[in-house]
Structure 1
Amino acid sequence: LSLSLSLSTIIPSLEVSQMAPKAEKKPAEKKPAEKAPAAEKKPKAEKKLPKDATTTSEKKKKRSKKSVETYKIYIFKVRKQVHPDIGISSKAMGIMNSFINDIFEKLAQESSRLARYNKKPTITSREIQTAVRLVLPGELAKHAVSEGTKAVTKFTSS
């Protein structure tokens, strides 16, 4: 859209009738018709290349589908710790995965905002902790902060 707007502002007198003669001038296809043998050889090579490209792109598409990152493994581990006798459906697993992604996004946005307010280029554990206190309600925030500090101390000690 910006390209079409910029062209209309640069050349306001440009009309469709002016563009039609340009299309009429292009029947210079007679010159490539003289090079017909060379043109015939090139399409054969071009036909071979797209076939190879499609097979490799199909393989790449299959690989990219496999690399979707989810929290399913971790949700299973926590569920097994909390309720080892209860299962979880795939729909519920999808909902839990979306929930974790949403919370992660909210915490990332809030911690980024806090770093910007304090004019700091780095998001530290302090910004994350403050973001948790702001995003999560009451008792849930307290538990999350305690688990987070425990994880950070375990990481720094090892």
Structure 2
Amino acid sequence: QARARSRRGARRAAPQRGRPLPGAQRVRRRGAMSQKEGKSKMPVAGEEVQVRKKTKKSSSSHAGAIYKVLKQVHPKMRISKQAMSIMESCVTDTFERLAKEASHLCRLTKKDTLSSREIQSAVRLVFPGELSKHAVSEGCKAVMSFNAARPAGGAADDDAAGAPA
């Protein structure tokens, strides 16, 4: 009985022989010859089977930045994994909204380059009222401190530093 259970657990799903899988690659499998042709789910030796390529999932995380901000605001407070996951999805969603709006503005003005001006306009459109004003002023402050920290003589983003708040 234990032997039957271990066989059942180790059994893999048979490859489908219909349409190709997305991102699949055709390879020749070397396997044991099937005794019952057509009835077995195991591939016949030399038969082409589709194998899905492993794709690397992007793992950009804002967890470190979220944690730093938490420690600035409440030094003694901690955050659970579930709360961090919620914050992560919130930040990612906001970033995607801003990027979508900024790229839309680029397309409307027929510009190829996404500059701080488009980001600033996207912030004004995405965030409501007072929140957008605070976000724009914080963004201008961050761009100015970034430009001040850079060595002189580099290509400067002039429209960002002089942008009205």
For the residues of structure 2 that align with 1:136 and 1:149, how far apart are their CA atoms? Answer: 16
Which secondary structure state, in structure 1, belongs to the residue aligned with residue 67 of structure 2?
helix
**Alignment of 1:102 onto 2:110:** no
Matches of residues 1-150 of structure 1 in structure 2 within 5 Å?
64=56, 68-150=59-141
CA distance in 2, matches of 1:127, 1:69: 23
Partner of 1:19: none
Instruction: Work out which structure has the larger RCO, using CA pairs closer than 8 Å and 6 or more positions apart in sequence.
Output: 2
Report the AA paired with residue 95 of structure 1: I
Q: CA deviation at 1:68?
A: 1.6
The percentage of counterpart residues that share the same residue type is 55
Q: How many angstroms does 1:122 deviate by? A: 0.8
C-alpha displacement of 1:142:
1.1
Deviation at 1:156, TM superposition (A): 1.5
Structure 2 CA distance for aligned equivalents of residues 126 and 106 of structure 1: 16
Q: Which is helix-richer, 1 or 2?
A: 1
Supply the distance in 1 between the matched residues of 2:145 and 2:75 (Cα, whole angstroms): 26
Q: What residue identity is the alignment partner of 2:137?
A: S
Following the alignment from structure 1 to structure 2, what is the Cα–Cα distance between the partners of residues 97 and 117? 30
In structure 2, runs of 5+ residues without a counterpart are 1-18, 20-44, 47-52, 150-165
Consecutive unaligned residues in structure 1, runs of 5 or more: 5-42, 47-56
CA deviations on 1:86-132 (whole Å, 9 max, x unpaired) are 21111010000000100000000000011111111111100000000
Q: Secondary structure at the match of 2:112?
A: coil
**CA deviation map 1:40-71 (0-9, x unaligned):** xxx8xx9xxxxxxxxxx9xx88xx57x62211
Equivalent in the alignment of 1:151: 142
Q: TM-score, normalised by structure 2?
A: 0.55
Q: State the aligned residue count.
A: 100
* CA distance in 2: counterparts of 1:152 and 1:146, whole angstroms: 10
Counterpart of 1:12 in structure 2 is none
Structure 1 vs Structure 2 CA RMSD: 2.3
AA at the equivalent of 1:126: R
Q: Distance in 2 between matches of 1:146 and 1:96?
A: 23
